[in-house]
Amino acid sequence: MTELRIRSLNGGETTLSRDALDAFAGGVRGMVITDGSPEYESSRSIWNAMIDKRPALIVRATGPADVLRTVNFVREQQLLLAVRGGGHNIAGKALCDGGVVLDLSALRDVRVDPRARTARVGPGALLGDVDHETQAFGLATPLGINSTTGVSGLTLGGGFGWLTRKYGMTIDNLLSADLVTSDGSLHTVSDSSEPDLFWAIRGGGGNFGVVTSFEYRLHPVGPHVLAGLIFYPLAQAPQILRRYRDFVAEMPEELTVWAVLRKAPPLPFLPESAHGTDVLILALLYAGDPASGRRAVEPLQAFGTSIAEHVDVMPYTAFQAGFDPLLTPGARNYWKSQDFTALSDAVIDTVIEQAGRLPSEECELFIASLGGAMGRVPETATAYAGRDANFVMNVHTRWRETAQDSKCRAWARECSEAVSPYATGGVYVNFLSQDETGRVHSAYGANYERLAAIKARYDPANLFRNNQNIAPAVSGQGREPEKTEG
């Protein structure tokens, strides 16, 4: 190869000579991968199989020095840049067509200080990496619900899961971060060091730079917790979801219960006759004394006549990874999401109706119950907006064949549109699909203008645009995000 055609920041193409590419690669300790390299195909593969993008250059960093060098290179050459952490983002923002991908997936180090109850985590770490290290000391921080999710994208978008009602969101437990901004400088941000930038990265996504290290607060959790699943036939859903709505309004903050409507997977504790049938699943975890947890969950077990249940004391890490088999890479995925302050009868009836016509065996609707510690944080304390949402519904459409694309996406859109009159209008930015750039402003609400102003200070040329983009404010005024192809 004598030269490399590569996509520029303005949407056109530029040419890198062999000498320029070699000079850049010579200063990178990690791998510099191009089309034709043996590692290329695997390096451009991410969790969502709907995303099929072909970067011109993939830089697999081994540390902050490689990150600094890559950011400086793409800025100087004015190249399109994507940043990959765990590669789990539904919209496929970890990749770009024709540009440069800065791949952080090798930076998976986790260092725990059990006395200070903190953890320092690399940007390529997965949830399972963090849980494995922190649980050795009976500690944890609120993360998501799938052990293969990347910590970086989860955190920068907000982050919630089984511990959120008790200990807040992931960003509420972020103490500091090391961040490379578009000018190639390294910042350590916290409440006392560049607080505006620290505020922005707690929910503002990858718009402000590349995080090379996260520091989290840890809490006593596990190593064993009371957790599990209760399966009910979908036919009982009208009564159960109404009881669920009333129950979660009064349940202790240690308890989190999510409702999932889908086809029953072939789990070993389910009767074979139930496999593939329409079910309502109550998934729960109690972040406290298991004996107290058993008393707290008893009402859930009397909501109806269950098909089966598996609720017991188990390793926290086991439950964190319990949904992994349903979320393996290689399937086609498309999401729609809505926030709710309450589950009205109309929402419940609409959700049940939509769950009765799932377009594939792997599709589901889940309703996450939030509130608690998350809801006590002021709306403007972090960039994340939506603290008033007591429930988040995600329409998780998942299938295998391209022939099902239109049918599955249409169902997801219809579900979302059907419940939207009852929703807050806000949305969790990590749940936005690739065609939802128009909802970015809604994701941030009243925080958007401040985010756009901070973006203008730290990334005025919008180098970090391959994300759910917040465009830099113009003359101190926020504006709608640019619609850019990733």
Q: Is residue 442 part of a domain?
A: no
Pick the more confident residue, 486 or 387: 387
Q: Is 124 found in the same domain as 29?
A: no
CB 486 within 8 A of CB 96: yes
pLDDT of res. 106? 97
Domain CATH for 79: 3.30.43.10
Total of domains in the chain: 3
Q: Is residue 464 part of a domain?
A: no
CB 378 within 8 A of CB 467: no
- 371 to each of 13, 125, 157, how far by Cα in Å? 47, 27, 18
- 237 to each of 18, 270, 282, how far by Cα in Å? 63, 18, 11
Q: Is 80 found in the same domain as 124?
A: no
Q: Give 139-176 pLDDT, tens digit per residue.
A: 999 999 999 999 999 999 999 999 999 999 999 999 99
pLDDT of res. 64? 97
Domain CATH for 128: 3.30.465.10
pLDDT of res. 188? 98
Q: Above 90 in pLDDT, residue 484?
A: no
Q: Give 257-272 pLDDT, tens digit per residue.
A: 999 999 999 999 999 9
Q: Give 367-381 pLDDT, tens digit per residue.
A: 999 999 999 999 999
Q: Is residue 449 part of a domain?
A: no
Q: Give 268-325 pLDDT, tens digit per residue.
A: 999 999 999 999 999 999 999 999 999 999 999 999 999 999 999 999 999 999 999 9
Counts of helices then strands in the chain (DSSP H, E): 14, 20
Confidence class of residue 3 from pLDDT cuts 50, 70 and 90? confident
Mean pLDDT to the nearest integer, 169-189: 98
Q: Is 256 found in the same domain as 375?
A: yes
Q: Give 379-403 pLDDT, tens digit per residue.
A: 999 999 999 999 999 999 999 999 9
Q: Above 50 in pLDDT, residue 457?
A: yes
Q: Is the dihedral of CA 128, 225, 266, 433 positive or negative?
A: negative
Q: Is residue 141 part of a domain?
A: yes
Q: Above 60 in pLDDT, residue 454?
A: yes
Mean pLDDT to the nearest integer, 47-68: 97
Structural domain of residue 20, as residue ranges? 3-103
Q: Which candidate, 138, 137, 165, 135, places its Cα nearest to that of 147? A: 135
Q: Is residue 342 part of a domain?
A: yes
Who contacts 400 (Cβ-Cβ below 8 Å, separation ≥6)?
Answer: 331, 332, 360, 362
Q: Which candidate, 201, 181, 323, places its Cα nearest to that of 262? A: 323
Q: Is 338 found in the same domain as 406?
A: yes
Q: Is 152 found in the same domain as 116?
A: yes
Average per-residue pLDDT for the chain:
95
- Measured distance CA(44)–CA(35) in Å, rounded: 10
Mean pLDDT to the nearest integer, 236-242: 98
Mean pLDDT to the nearest integer, 74-101: 97
Residues comprising the chain, all counted? 486
Q: Is 154 found in the same domain as 41?
A: no
Domain boundary among 220, 238, 254: 220
- Measured distance CA(419)–CA(342) in Å, rounded: 12
pLDDT of res. 443? 95
Q: Is 231 found in the same domain as 312?
A: yes
Q: Is residue 192 part of a domain?
A: yes
Q: Above 70 in pLDDT, residue 31?
A: yes
Q: Is 296 found in the same domain as 357?
A: yes
Q: Above 50 in pLDDT, residue 486?
A: no
Q: What would the DSSP string read from start to end of 283-299? A: EEEE-S-HHHHHHHHGG
Mean pLDDT to the nearest integer, 7-16: 93
Q: Is residue 128 part of a domain?
A: yes
Q: Is 342 found in the same domain as 245?
A: yes
Mean pLDDT to the nearest integer, 96-114: 98
Secondary-structure breakdown of the chain: helix, strand, coil percentages, each rounded to the nearest 5: 35, 25, 40
Q: Is 359 found in the same domain as 236?
A: yes
CB burial of 190-225 (b: ≥16 within 10 Å; e: otherwise) equals: eeeebeebbbbbbbbbbbbbbbbbbbbbbbebbbbb
Q: Is 342 found in the same domain as 248?
A: yes
Alpha helix ranges (H) inside 97-189? 127-134, 151-157, 164-167
Mean pLDDT to the nearest integer, 122-133: 98
Q: Which candidate, 269, 267, 277, places its Cα nearest to that of 232? A: 277
Q: Is residue 174 part of a domain?
A: yes
Residue 460: phi and psi, rounded to 5, are: -60, -30
Domain CATH for 351: 3.40.462.20
Confidence class of residue 1 from pLDDT cuts 50, 70 and 90? low
Domain boundary among 103, 134, 167: 103
Q: Is 228 found in the same domain as 216?
A: no
Domain boundary among 81, 103, 125: 103
Mean pLDDT to the nearest integer, 52-66: 98
- 358 to each of 139, 203, 340, 363, 407, how far by Cα in Å? 39, 32, 22, 6, 10
